[in-house]
Chains A and B, each alone.
Chain A
């Protein structure tokens, strides 16, 4: 079985690397991640440094992407802002995966609590994504950590649904039934039989979800509910640039382009993983 598992992973890996669009996504993500990780080393200016005499400049050799209304270097702010947006994406998805995944496993494996948990998840899903995030932000107030919690809470019910449906199908398989028949505890069956095999759909969903989380985090910052100025964040940068659209449209264009590139990279990788792992996800609102 282990050999079969390794063969499946090797085959899937090969299929994934042959997927041209997924490979493109991987390259885009690698470049963007590297640039944001190395921001302190490669950013030409301090992202908060205001040089009023150089405000609203177009791209030049000194400021490759120009400057904003306070004379801050847009490239430096995008590089640093990427760290915030990426962290929001990863941490909020981790929150959703941890809590939603646990609830999904419990609902899928233990029938008596299935209905209760899934009806609770239905309640969370009955709010439009942005409205639920706004409700959470209203309670918690603005700030980076609160954005991650708000976006994470929104992904809990979606994860619970994905994991539950995977667990339901896996627990009916002969090897799981055999494990139970041999007297293995529920915890052992879940840990050794169910969780490793629910990995492919969860991985695909997580990849797609990170892109969505980055988008939602950026929306909250755009609306002024998320990360507060002068901290550079892509959504907030687009919002600031909106007031200067007539005279300096590039202030809002570049951070938006950065969000688009990262999200499209995650979507390409997610699509590639879905094709190579042969996973079909049910649409989750």
Chain B
């Protein structure tokens, strides 16, 4: 294991520790008895006492924390107050839909963002450049739920081309694919804008480098200069950024799933909030945060792989 990988892995441990402490604290920071909060307001005294004993809530706080972490590591995140379903089971049922939506949006955002960004940089100050950069600015300024609602109104209600919501089937079926289009477009919207802006600026920076001038002076064709010499270096920070967007999109999925009744983790957590199902809220937030940390770790390691300078920084 290289020192860079070891250093990066080591740095993740305190972050995961902090995340677990924060998520554990949620129930304790809500005014009221944690046992009653986790058992549900309608729970009987016997049920509350059982939860208190099961989760060691009558013991010192640090004992409760270690008990919480050891249970979480075994996949025991408690039970839903309302459905009595284990939280981990609910996460396992809902996460594939969120993953499907997030990956589809990421691919869409990465592909469109990079193509638009590179074209804008190559045709700097052209009409295309001005229009796409204005579009990108508009994209990052739009509330995600508004984009979703406008798309739903136009494509589902006005043109009647696509369903208004739900996940009608697996991705490889036509109905499944049709139901994914609008949520994926909505979620990808903001990331497309961000990726296009970043790609354009890094590409412009690379195109001003001396080695590009040298390549042009050698008489290489413009296409070879752009695709053979400039694009590879310009895309290093962009690829990293696209990777980081995966975590951002997971957060955005919370809103998108709510708009399109997409049965993923986002809906699970928002439904849990409205029904005050605290074990589900706590479990989902912990799952999202740990996933976010792991994704960032993978992206950092890949960045080190793509750009050796990072490993020696």
Contact = CB atoms under 8 A, between A and B. Distances in A.
Interface string A123-154: 10011111100110111000000000000000
Contacts of A252: 146, 149, 153
Contact of B157 (A120, A123, A126, A246): A246
Contacts of A199: none
Interface string A256-280: 1101100110011001000000000
B145 A222 contact: yes
Size bin of chain A's contact surface: 35 or more
Nearest to A133: B251
Interface residues of B, number: 47
A218 interface: yes
Interface stretch (B103-111, B179-187, B289-297): B289-297
B146 A127 contact: no
A283 B237 CA distance: 11
B141 A219 contact: no
Contact of A127 (B19, B138, B143): B19
B13 to A, nearest CB: 10
Contact of A128 (B138, B149, B198, B292): B292
Contact of A219 (B22, B145, B248, B289): B145
Contacts of A193: none
A39 interface: no
A259 B138 contact: no
A131 B282 CA distance: 11
A135 B150 contact: no
B141 A263 contact: yes
Contacts of A222: 143, 145, 255, 258
B244 A285 contact: yes
A238 interface: yes
Contacts of B145: 218-219, 222, 235, 238-239, 256
Contacts of A131: 251, 254, 269, 285, 288-289
A283 B138 CA distance: 19
Interface in B272-302: 273-274, 278, 281, 285, 288-289, 292-293, 296
Q: Give the top 8 A-B pairs by smallest Cβ distance, nearest first.
A: A128-B251, A256-B146, A123-B18, A264-B141, A263-B141, A130-B251, A139-B29, A222-B145
28 contacts: A119-B15, A122-B18, A127-B285, A127-B289, A127-B292, A128-B254, A128-B289, A129-B251, A130-B251, A130-B254, A131-B251, A131-B254, A131-B269, A135-B22, A135-B26, A135-B285, A138-B281, A139-B30, A222-B258, A223-B258, A238-B143, A238-B145, A249-B153, A252-B149, A256-B149, A263-B142, A263-B143, A285-B247
Interface of A: 119-120, 122-123, 126-131, 134-135, 137-139, 211, 215, 218-219, 222-225, 235, 238-239, 241-242, 245-246, 249, 252-253, 256-257, 259-260, 263-264, 267-268, 271, 283, 285
Given A256-B143, A259-B143, 19 more contacts: A123-B14, A126-B296, A127-B22, A128-B250, A130-B251, A130-B255, A131-B269, A131-B285, A134-B269, A135-B23, A211-B141, A219-B144, A219-B145, A223-B270, A225-B273, A238-B149, A239-B145, A249-B157, A260-B141
